[in-house]
């Protein structure tokens, strides 16, 4: 029988949040259609390095396995992307895996992305429905902006854009493209637009949209192909108008 074809993985590992990173290499049996998540599952089943040393299985996060949830975002061959839709056949080998270090690393490839949730809270990434008013039928969406809203609503807060953005990281307080652009989604909403000035004012604060440096990496790496730079420019327009209102309306 012909020898089993294998795929070499070079994985950047880390035992805990403050532990020193190190690399380990694994050979995974090749099969057609193999993706990075499936390969990591193989490693989990048989966590033996190429030197034949049995080690602790590699820790990572995944959920939907169809590029919808965003959980399996990691740095694959130097680029931030989803592991579930990264086909081995389309990647240069050996395949390098590393955690997205823009976020705090919990262990191995597992990262803590809760900072994005905090940012969504900052920009009021929701629609206010509870109040003293009567809740009637849902308002109709503007048919001219519904396509745009649908597109932005695809954002799965995977964090690819934050990982690729040179202005996001411990050296900066930028909340990143994904949470920023979500403000535009909720400003488009027929009820959410009532709070548009609130969101725009939040974006004008330190770490908001002004921290964008126009490197445009976000739009290049977005796995959902959201036109982030277009909406960032739109939000820039909107915050400028808001600033004029802030100055001249009082």
Partner 1 sequence: MFHTTFYLRRLHSLVGLLILGGVIFEHIFTNSMAIGGAAALNGALAMMELIPHPIFLAIEVCAIAVPLLFHGIYGVYIALQAKNNPRQYGFCRNWQFALQRWTAWYLVVFLIWHIGYLRIFTKGITGTPISYELLHNLFTSSPITTVLYILGMFAAIFHFCNGITTFCMTWGIAKGPRVQKVIACLSTLLCIVMCLITLVFMGSYFVM
Helices of type H across the chain = 36-45, 114-122, 146-153, 160-164, 177-188, 196-203, 217-221, 228-248
Give the footprint of partner 1 on this chain (CB under 8 A).
Answer: 78-79, 164, 166-167, 169, 171-174, 201, 204-208, 210-217, 219-221, 227, 229-230, 232-240, 243, 246
Give the nearest distance from C-beta 93 to partner 1 in angstroms: 19
Q: Judged by CB, which is closer to partner 1: 63, or 214?
A: 214
With H, G, I as helix, E, B as strand and everything else as coil, classify residue 13.
Answer: strand
**C-beta separation of 60 from 45 below 8 A:** no
The angle subtended at Cα 18 by Cα 163 and Cα 52, nearest 5°, is 90
User: Is the backbone of residue 169 left (phi > 0), alpha (psi -120 to 50) or beta?
Assistant: left
H-state helical runs in 46-129: 114-122
Cα–Cα separations (whole angstroms), residue 236 to 201, 208, 241: 12, 11, 9
According to DSSP, the residues that pair with 74 across neighbouring strands are 81
Q: How many whole angstroms separate alpha carbon 69 and alpha carbon 72?
A: 8
**Nearest to 189, CA basis, from 124, 142, 131, 231:** 142
Is residue 205 within 8 A of residue 138, CB to CB? The reply is no
CB of 193 to partner 1, least distance (A): 18
CA distance 172 to 17: 20
């Amino acid at each position: 029988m012909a020898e089993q074809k294998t795929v070499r993985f070079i994985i950047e590992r880390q035992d805990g949040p403050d532990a020193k990173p190190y690399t380990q290499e694994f050979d995974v049996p090749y099969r057609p259609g193999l993706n990075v998540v499936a390969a990591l599952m193989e490693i989990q089943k048989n966590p033996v390095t190429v030197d034949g040393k049995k080690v602790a299985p590699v820790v990572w996060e995944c959920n939907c396995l169809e590029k919808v949830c965003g959980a399996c975002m990691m740095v694959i061959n130097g680029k931030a992307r989803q592991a579930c839709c990264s086909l081995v056949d389309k990647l240069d080998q050996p395949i390098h895996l590393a955690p997205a270090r823009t976020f705090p690393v919990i262990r191995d490839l597992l990262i803590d992305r809760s900072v994005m949730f905090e940012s969504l809270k900052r920009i009021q990434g929701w629609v206010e429905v509870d109040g003293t008013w009567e809740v009637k039928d849902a308002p109709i969406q503007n048919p001219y902006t519904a396509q745009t809203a649908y597109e932005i609503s695809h954002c799965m807060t995977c964090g690819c854009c934050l990982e690729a953005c040179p202005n996001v990281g411990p050296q900066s307080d930028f909340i990143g493209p994904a949470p920023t652009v979500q403000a535009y989604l909720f400003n488009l909403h027929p009820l959410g637009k009532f709070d548009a000035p609130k969101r725009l004012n939040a974006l004008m604060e330190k770490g908001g949209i002004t921290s964008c440096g126009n490197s445009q990496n976000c739009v290049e790496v977005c796995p959902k192909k959201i036109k982030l730079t277009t909406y960032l420019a739109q939000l820039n327009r909107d915050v400028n108008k808001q600033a004029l209102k802030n100055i001249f309306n009082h």
